[in-house]
């Protein structure tokens, strides 16, 4: 059996895998894969076990900080998308600052796995406003795990933010930050106390309801869920039906995973009223992005949302 590979055309077809060999973006993951499974850990700056806080603070240089958290699913169902996201998120800071979409962005990246089955189910870096973001992206362990149950530990990350994230934006100015989940599956049925103890080290004794954790998250954060194509469940209605009640119109489907940073930047710019969709797409075109079409399509439902005040449209509940 096997394939039927008897000439070198098969080798030519493997160009992408050949190019990936020795890619420094994969250095940390490769180091981990050379260890027995149970010795694999998150890089120190991304380790969540025993972590007490993640802070986004104002400074003289950045007096009006905007905290932005981007957490992407790195389980196997995501296929090659985590590698794409890992590469593209390095562009996010530049997109936000060049476009003037928000004040003093501080970005914290992280990776989500399966808290029931994976060796490293949660990695969350630090809020950064310089190229230390790139370093943390390279140090993410792309475990490629998952339990095969179409559910991952997103809500454990939400619990982490609820209990650890401290932002001057909220504390001093009452301004919400941004959380983007990039994934293709549903939440586990609950935030398991067992997982919280194992992964974070908190002495939690009872499971938490997923809805409650996201409600709490929404108080301080604009929460988005991005479902990119080329993953396993892009066309599965169950995923959207699960997330709609949790994040409402902030459920975004993205045809082109390479446009993930573009999408996040425009979403923030539109929420901050710095741009409208048309202007944002023009900015992308000027910057040479090839993902404009996909980003535009992803944002149509969000652009058409009822805007509470000042947006020229009355809220739905009036």
Partner 1 sequence: MTARVPGRPIVVVGLGYGDESKGATVDYLASTIGDTAAVVRWSGGGQAAHNVCHGPRHHTFRQFGSGTLRGVRTIARAPMLVNPISLATEAAELAVLGVGDPFGLLTVDANALVTTPIHVAMNRAREIARGAARHGSCGEGVGETRAYALAVGSRARRGDSVGNFPVHADVPGSPALTMGMLRSRAATVGALDALAGYARPLLDSVNHPDVALEPVETIAEALCEIASLLRVVDDMDAHVDAAMASGTVIFEGSQGVLLDEWYGFHPYTTWSTITPRQLVADLRAAGHNPYVLGLTRSYATRHGAGPMPTEDRSLDLPDVHNREGRYQGAWRTGHLDLPALRYAIAAAGGVDGIGVSHLDAVGTRELLVADSWSGIPDPLPLPSGTGVGELAALTARASAAEPDYRDLPGTPDGVLDLITSATGCPVVLAAAGPQRTDRRMLCPNLTC
Binding site for partner 1 (CB under 8 A): 1-8, 10-11, 13-18, 20-23, 26, 29-30, 32-40, 75-83, 117, 142-150, 232-233
What tokens does 146 get?
């998952």
Q: Kindly state the smallest distance separating residue 286's Cβ from partner 1, in Å.
A: 32
Minimum distance of partner 1 from residue 108's CB (angstroms) = 22
Place of tokens 């590979």: 5
Which is closer to partner 1, CB of 34 or CB of 205? 34
For residues 27 and 201, which CB has a smaller minimum distance to partner 1 in the complex? 27
Measured from the CB of residue 229, what is the shortest distance to partner 1 in angstroms? 14
CA distance 176 to 170: 6
Q: Which helix (H) or strand (E) covers residue 151, if one does?
A: strand 151-152
Q: How do beta strands 122-124 and 105-112 pair?
A: antiparallel
Specify the residue, 141 or 180, whose C-beta has the smaller distance to partner 1. 141
CB of 203 to partner 1, least distance (A): 24
Return the number of the residue (143 or 262) whose C-beta is nearest partner 1. 143
Q: What CA–CA distance (Å, rounded) separates 54 from 140?
A: 17
Q: Is the dihedral of CA 77, 45, 139, 66 positive or negative?
A: positive
Minimum CB distance to partner 1, residue 143 (Å): 6
Rounded to a whole number of angstroms, the minimum distance from the CB of residue 3 to partner 1 is: 6
Q: Which DSSP category does 188 fall into?
A: P
Nearer to partner 1, 183 or 280 (CB): 183
Do residues 114 and 37 lie in contact, with contact meaning Cβ atoms separated by under 8 Å? Answer: no
Q: In the complex, what is the shortest distance from the CB of residue 104 to partner 1, in angstroms, rounded to a whole number? A: 33
Instruction: Compare residues 35 and 300 and give the one whose CB is closer to partner 1.
Output: 35
Pick the closer one to partner 1 by CB: 142 or 291. 142
Within 197-276, residue ranges assigned H as helices are 210-220, 237-247, 260-271
Nearer to partner 1, 22 or 50 (CB): 22
CA neighbor of 75 nearest in space, from 28, 143, 155: 143
Written as six digits, the tokens of 9 are 């055309």
CB of 136 to partner 1, least distance (A): 17
CA–CA gap between residue 168 and residue 158 (Å, rounded): 19
- For residue 116, what are its two tokens? 């029931």
- CB-CB contact of 133 with 90 (8 Å): yes
Measured distance CA(159)–CA(155) in Å, rounded: 6
Dist. CA 64–CA 173, nearest whole Å = 9
Is residue 248 a contact partner of residue 194, using CB atoms and an 8 Å limit? Answer: no
């Amino acid at each position: 059996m096997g394939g039927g590979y008897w000439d070198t055309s098969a080798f030519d077809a493997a160009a992408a895998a050949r190019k990936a060999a020795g890619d420094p973006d994969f250095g940390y993951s490769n180091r981990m894969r050379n260890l027995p499974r149970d010795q694999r850990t998150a890089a120190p700056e991304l380790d969540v076990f025993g972590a007490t806080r993640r802070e986004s603070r104002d400074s003289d240089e950045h007096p009006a900080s905007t905290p932005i958290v981007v957490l992407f699913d790195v389980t196997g169902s995501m296929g090659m998308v985590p590698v794409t996201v890992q590469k593209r998120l390095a562009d996010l800071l530049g997109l936000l600052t060049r476009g003037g979409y928000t004040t003093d962005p501080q970005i914290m990246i992280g990776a989500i796995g399966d808290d029931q089955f994976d060796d490293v189910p949660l990695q969350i870096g630090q809020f950064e406003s310089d190229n230390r973001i790139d370093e943390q992206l390279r140090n993410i362990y792309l475990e490629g795990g998952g339990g095969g149950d179409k559910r991952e530990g997103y809500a454990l990350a939400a619990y982490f933010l609820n209990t650890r994230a401290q932002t001057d934006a909220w504390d001093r100015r009452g301004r919400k930050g941004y959380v983007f989940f990039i994934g293709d599956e549903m939440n586990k049925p609950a935030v398991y106390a067992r997982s919280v103890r194992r992964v974070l080290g908190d002495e939690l004794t009872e499971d938490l309801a997923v809805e409650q954790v996201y409600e709490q998250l929404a108080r301080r954060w604009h929460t988005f869920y991005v479902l990119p194509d080329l993953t396993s469940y892009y066309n599965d209605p169950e995923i959207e039906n699960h997330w709609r009640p949790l994040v409402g119109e902030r459920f975004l489907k993205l045809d082109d995973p390479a446009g993930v940073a573009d999408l996040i930047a425009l979403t923030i710019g539109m929420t901050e009223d710095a741009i409208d969709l048309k202007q944002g797409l023009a900015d992308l075109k000027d910057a040479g992005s090839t993902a404009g079409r996909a980003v535009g399509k992803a944002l149509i439902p969000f652009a058409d949302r009822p805007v509470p005040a000042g947006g020229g449209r009355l809220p739905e509940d009036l």
